Amino acid sequence: MTLPMQTMKEGVYEERPGFPTQYGPDRTDYQPGVPFWPHEAYRDLVIVFVLMAILLFLSAAYTPEVGPAANPAIQPFIVPDWYLLFSWGLLKLADVLPTIVFTDPLGNLINMDAAFWGNMLTFPLVLVPLLLLPFIDRGRETRPAKAPVRTAVGVGFYLGFLFFSSLYATNDRILQSWPFIADDALKWMVIIPPILITFATYVGIRRLGFRDMYWWNVLLIGSAFAVVLLMSLWAFALGPWAADGMSPIDRLGTLGDQNAWPLTVFMVIVILYSAVLFYATAFLKERKAKEVVLAASVITFFAVVIAAKGFADWIFPATFSALKTIALYSNYFIALPLFALVTFYLGTRTPYSTYEYLLNECYQCGKCHTVCPVTKVEDDALGGLNLVYNTFKKQHDGVPLWTCLACDACSAVCPLDIKYSDYILEERSKVGAQGAAADGGRRYGE
Amino acid sequence: MPRESLFGRLNRKVFGYLVSRFPPAPWSDLTRRTVETVQRQVPRSHAEKYELKTIWYWYPLYCLGGIAFVAFIILTITGILLGFYYIPDGTIEFTRTGDVTSAAYESMNFIMNDVPFGFMIRGLHHWGAHVMIAAVFLHMMRVYFTGAYKKPRELNWILGVILLLVTLFFGYSGYLLPANDLSRGAATIGINMAKAVPPLWLGEFQTLVFFGELDPTGFYILRMYWFHVFILPLAGTLLMVLHMALVWIQGVAEPH
């Protein structure tokens, strides 16, 4: 006996690819996949052998040393293995937090010192969000490019926070090699760049062409820029973190007035360049933004070269030492242009370059075919299949590139909001750029 | 309609939560059928099922958990071999010339210099550990960025986080074992971190649990050895089996 629902389903979905009428191994279109033996097994064995070969090569060529024996009399200058560096960096960073000592109601002395805060930063700060992650992020979207907040936080956390806190673990060696960098500047490097990387990733993903960017995103990113700009100005003008309490302005005074000019010029160049990049990324159209940024980059490059060369060789020979002074607070001057560049690059990517990704969402509901006016008059398309799906599979069924009216009826009914006509127009513009006219024929005069 | 009792509702809620995630299925029958079927087959992935265009360059990322597991097997084998020669005794001794040494350090030198291919076995163990930890980190990133921890796989994500901790503790206890200066420095940091948890008795108690002493004199090596060769492998293997069983039951999550 066949249920009425089953009959209806078969009537609707008969002969449609991707719509099985039965389920399980009895399906007529049952495709069993790849046999485990030998296909999968061979592939797995290849992976195992390659891994084994890499390990054998490493242990033969880079045999680990045992090193000197543990000696209680000597305090060694050690660096832990790379995977624990982040913890050690946070432990070192924790001395900025206040030491709190009190007695709890049970009479225990609670001593919250730097080591305690290091523990707190390492374990609860990293682990608790990880454990709670599935209960915090409850949306259904799994694609990284379509979940911008999750991806941005992940990039900021993994690439930013863990990397820069690992970097801070080696602060002894950095300070030894570059004594003019302040320790506080390195500490801020753990905090500021991850936040900036998060923002930059977020901007980039929002502008990939999946969704329009909300107006408040521009304000958010703009205020992040503004905060960084203000902090760099603050660091330059006041500089409360130097070991001896001197601000760069004071320090410049000790170097002589002649250095104030070159430093001011460099500062103005960097800040102007960043401001132009931000303005272009956030407010201008893509094509215009690219032109503006290219011009600004070229001008900035020559301005910096000419300024550096001019100040160093012709006017003030002491500029180099003055630049070393400003390097105390170099975190902002490194982080800001990098942030601006990354944001710009991500923010002005061609929106439709990821269209394949979008079309891939189609699950062949067929609504676009139902509403498409072209399929009603084109002979090829009368019994045609699904519009978006077939386009994606490179099977143009009567609505090829040049007969589409771009009427957007398909987008209006698409349950996944796939902008089919945008895709068509983009493809046409690509072909047009290669020399074909819009009607598929030759250009006039050829 | 009579209102269901509080216990009944609670029971339904808890049971419904579990059943919606781990639907009852004849696992033993399925296992037997899988084993007995001549042509054992890997099920089609989501992308294959719906004839989606696959993003092929993502696929190696789905191999990272497997690479971590293969590295774990290599580590187990080489670890068993190393265990034949290693002496977990970090007590400070002096050589005839007055240099500081210990039985553990001497046995390390014995493995590196006198055991045939001992340096290769230790090298495999060392680099295998690095590969495993790197693979675990990257595996976690893959799961994070493809949103694979979402319903119904919450439990497996939490298991994965615990396994990450186990792996890191494996690595830490492993590089404490050679009784060299790196080992001593890392033990000093670890002991100070463990002692820093207030109140004082709790910090000292957990230091004694994890290191066996309040100052790194060398006894910590025996404690770390026992963690490294018994407790962590036991817990790690059980959790890994559970982790992979859940992947098998719930299927691989791929973005689509």
- pLDDT per residue over A215-262, tens digit each? 666 666 666 666 666 666 666 565 545 555 566 566 656 555 555 666
Structural domain ending residue among the three candidates A322, A349, A376: A349
**Residue from the list B161, B178, B216 with its beta carbon closest to the beta carbon of A66:** B178
pLDDT at A371: 86
Decide the pairing of beta strands B93-94 and B100-101: antiparallel
Tell me the residue range of the domain where A270 lies: 222-349
Does residue A403 sit in the same domain as residue A298? no
Residues A368-392 have a mean pLDDT of 73
Structure confidence at residue B214 (pLDDT):
92
Mean of the per-residue pLDDT values of chain B: 87
pLDDT at A159: 78
Same domain, A387 and A312: no
Using a pLDDT cut of 90, give the percent of chain A over it: 7
> Do A272 and A341 fall within a single domain?
yes
Examine residue A384 and state whether it is found in any structural domain, yes or no.
yes
Q: In this predicted model, what pLDDT tens digit does every residue of B176-213 receive, in sequence order?
A: 999 998 899 899 989 988 998 888 888 999 999 999 99
**CB pairs A-B closer than 8 Å:** 223
B178 near A CB under 8 A: yes
A124 or B33: which leads in pLDDT:
A124
Distances (CA, A) of A113 to A91, B101, B111, B199: 11, 34, 42, 12
Quick one: closest CA in B to A61, which residue?
Answer: B123
B56 touches chain A (CB under 8 A): no
Residue A308 in this model has a pLDDT that exceeds 90: no
Residues A342 and A375 in one domain: no
Q: Does the distance separating the beta carbons of A83 and B109 come in below 8 Å?
A: no
Return the minimum-mean-pLDDT range out of A402-411, B53-62, B141-150: B53-62
Question: Does the pLDDT of residue B237 top 90, yes or no?
Answer: yes
Q: Are residues A241 and A295 in the same domain?
A: yes
Q: Which of A296, A323, A349 is the last residue of a domain?
A: A349
CA distance B138 to B141: 5
Identify whether A170 is part of a domain: no
User: Are A47 and B66 inside 8 Å of each other by CB?
Assistant: yes
**A327 falls within a domain:** yes
Q: Lowest mean pLDDT: which of A120-134, A376-390, B168-182? A: A376-390
More reliable by pLDDT, A274 or A21: A274
**Phi, psi for residue A291 in degrees, rounded to 5:** -60, -45
Q: What is the mean pLDDT of residues A333-341?
A: 61
**Do residues A230 and A309 both lie within one domain?**
yes
User: For residues A351-389, b (16+ Cβ closer than 10 Å) or e, as one string?
Assistant: ebeebebbbbbbebbbbbbebbebbeebeebeebbbbbb
* Distance set, CA A146 to CA A208, A211, A215, A303, B255 (Å): 9, 9, 18, 40, 10
Secondary structure tally for chain B: helices H, strands E: 11, 3
Q: Would residue A408 count as lying in a domain?
A: yes
More confident residue, A369 or B243: B243
Residues A344 and A227 in one domain: yes
Residues A228, A345 share a domain: yes
* Closest Cα in chain B to A109: B199
Tokens representing residue A322 in the block: 């003055």
CA distances from B129 to A82, B25, B97 (A): 12, 37, 35
- Indicate if the pLDDT at residue A160 is higher than 60: yes
pLDDT at A174 over 70: yes
Range of A204-213, A321-330, A343-352 with top mean pLDDT:
A204-213
pLDDT at A291 over 50: yes
Task: Give A131 or A349, the one with higher predicted confidence.
Answer: A131
Q: Which fold is adopted by the domain B60-250?
A: Cytochrome Bc1 Complex; Chain C (1.20.810)
Assess contact for A355 and A426: CB atoms under 8 A. Answer: yes
Which structure tokens are listed for A443? 């250009």
Model pLDDT, residue B61? 86
pLDDT of the residue at A356:
66
User: Averaged over B67-90, what is the pLDDT?
Assistant: 95
Rounded CA-CA distance A274/A332 in Å is 12
Average pLDDT over residues B86-99: 90
**Which of A175 and A50 is assigned the larger pLDDT?**
A50
Of B51, B112, B128, the CB nearest to A55: B128
Of A11-15, A89-93, A198-202, B33-37, the one with minimum mean pLDDT is A11-15
Q: Which of A156-165, A180-189, A229-238, B65-74 has the highest mean pLDDT?
A: B65-74
Please tell me the predicted confidence (pLDDT) of residue A365: 79
- Which amino acid would we find at residue B2? P
Q: Is B77 on the interface with A (CB under 8 A)?
A: no
Chain B partners within 8 Å of A60 (Cβ)? 120, 123
B251 CB within 8 Å of a chain A CB = no
Q: Closest Cα to residue B127, out of A45, A57, A317, A302?
A: A57
Q: How confident is the model at residue A440 (pLDDT cuts 50, 70, 90)?
A: very low
Q: Per mean pLDDT, which range of A112-116, A135-139, A206-210 is the poorest?
A: A206-210
- The H or E element containing residue A164 is helix A163-169
Classify residue A443: in a domain, yes or no.
no
CB contact under 8 A, A108 and B201: yes
Apex CA A309: angle with CA A307 and CA A312, to 5°?
100
Most confident of the following: A358-362, A370-374, A397-401, B103-107: B103-107
Band (pLDDT 50/70/90 cuts) for residue A397 is low
Mean pLDDT of A38-52: 87
Cα torsion through A145, A149, A152, A156, rounded to 10: -160
pLDDT mean over A200-222 = 66
Number of domains, chain A: 2
pLDDT on residue A269: 78
Mean pLDDT of chain A: 72
Residue A69 lies in a domain: no
C-alpha closest to that of A340 among A237, A220, A224: A224
**Would you say residue A162 lies in a domain?**
no
Mean per-residue pLDDT for A174-179? 71
pLDDT of B164 strictly over 90: yes
> What pLDDT, on the 0 to 100 scale, is given for residue B67?
95
Confidence band (pLDDT; 50, 70, 90) for A445?
Answer: very low
Domain ranges of chain B: 60-250
- In terms of average pLDDT, the best of A342-351, A379-388, B177-186 is B177-186
Contact at 8 Å (CB) between B107 and B122? no
> For residues A89 and A166, is the Cβ–Cβ distance under 8 A?
yes
Indicate which of A84, A126, A149, A166 best probes the interface with B, i.e. most B CBs within 10 Å of its own CB: A84
**More reliable by pLDDT, A18 or B123:** B123
- Predicted TM-score (pTM) of the model is 0.74
pLDDT band (50, 70, 90) for residue A115:
confident
By three-state DSSP, how is residue A5 classified? helix
* Residue A213 pLDDT grade (very low, low, confident, very high; cuts 50, 70, 90): low
Residues contacting A221, CB < 8 A, separation 6+? A199, A202, A203, A278, A282, A343
The whole-number pLDDT of residue A311 equals 66
Do the beta carbons of residue A356 and residue B53 sit within 8 Å? yes
| Contact between A18 and A364 (Cβ < 8 Å) | yes
pLDDT of residue A208: 64
Q: Residue type for B220, please? A: Y
Contacts of A55 in chain B (CB under 8 A): 74, 123-124, 127-128, 131
Domain C-terminal end among A349, A376, A394:
A349
Query: Whole-angstrom Cα distance, residue A113 to residue A130?
Result: 25
Has residue A12 got a pLDDT over 60? no
